[in-house]
Every structure is written in C-alpha cells, then in structure tokens.
Copies of this chain bind each other. A is one copy, B any other.
Amino acid sequence: MVLAKNKSEVLTLNSNIRSLELESIDFFVRLMGILGMPRSVGEIYGLLYFSETPLSMDKIASKLEISIGSASQGLKTLKSLKAVHSTYIAGDRRDHYTAETEFRKLFSSFINDEIMPHLDSAKDRISRMEQSLSTEKKLDEFHLIRLEKLKKLTKTGSRLLPALAGFLKI
C-alpha cells in the first residue's frame, strides 16, 4: 500500500493522528509560525516530534492530509534547518525521517540561516547611510546619533544571537 485508495483506509490513516499528535502539531505550527515558517513545516515537525518510528514522506503526507509537493517542500526546509534527519530502513527504498529534538541545534541553525544574513546586509545598508549622510551634508548631531544607535543595534544582534545559541541548555 502506497497511498490510501478508499474511504476506510483514509479513516484508518487519519485515526492514527491521536490527540497527543494533534496537540503536538498545533504546538509546533504555532511555534514555527512565530519564526515565519509555513504551516506545513510546523505540521511535519509536530508529527515527527512524537513519532517513535521514522516516517516516510508519503506517510507524512497522508497522515497530515497534505500533498506530496507540500511534504517535499516542508521536509526540504526542515532538512536545511537540520530539524529532521533521514534514517535508513532496511528493505525500503524510501527515506524515513525523524525529528531533531535538541532545540539548541535548531535554534542555532535558524539564527545562522535566517537571521545572520539579514544582519550582514543591514551592515551594508548602514554603510550606505553613512555615505548619504556625508554627501547630503547632514552631518549634524541628530543624524549621527541615530546612525550610531543603528550600528550598536546590529553589532549587539550579531554578537548576542550566536552567543545565545551556544549558551542554551535545551
């Protein structure tokens, strides 16, 4: 059986999502939502988080009733964040996925992949502001102070965030 073909099979598959899984999915959909991740990403992670056995992509898709396209995209995102790992299962061609449960790791790669690039480009933008400030002859205290604050903000961010990830014990 690859995909459910009739109603009773669908029901069987759906009934595999029990209240614990539902709460877990809800939990991670919201958490990922805060971090700007699409619903499907939270759903997949939430499902895997309480799964004792690794799950194949098509099982994930059918349990969550999402398309395999979504499942593929969602897993791609989760892989890039190192939030899931694929496991080898003997005698099965398919990849099987488990959730990475060390949140410190997830947090760390989220910061590196999603936040740091923004902070880097913010620094370029600040350089251009300094440029504008000198060419537009607005070198008054007001503008200089505001610009200094921005520099301090980005510097604090790019120092604190990676440090935080190392410091966490979760």
With A19-B132, A132-B19, A136-B18 already in contact, the answer to whether A30 and B146 are too (CB < 8 A) is no
Q: Complex: how many Å from CA A27 to CA B19?
A: 43
Are B152 and A170 in contact (CB-based, < 8 A)? yes
A156/B129 in contact, CB under 8 A: no
Chain A interface, >50% SS class: helix
Does A129 lie within 8 Å of B24, measured CB to CB?
yes
B136 lies within 8 A of A19 (CB): yes
When the two chains form their complex, are residues A143 and B20 in contact, meaning their CB atoms are under 8 A apart? yes
Whether a CB of chain B sits under 8 angstroms from the CB of A76 is no
Given contacts A30-B118, A34-B118, A122-B31, contact A23 B170 (CB under 8 A): no
Interchain CB contact under 8 A, A142 and B52? yes
The answer to the question of A12 belonging to the interface, with a C-beta cut-off of 8 Å to chain B, is: no
Given contacts A103-B149, A156-B169, 19 further A-B contacts (CB under 8 A): A18-B136, A19-B132, A20-B133, A20-B136, A20-B138, A23-B125, A23-B132, A26-B125, A27-B122, A27-B126, A27-B129, A34-B36, A34-B114, A34-B115, A50-B143, A52-B142, A101-B146, A149-B170, A156-B168
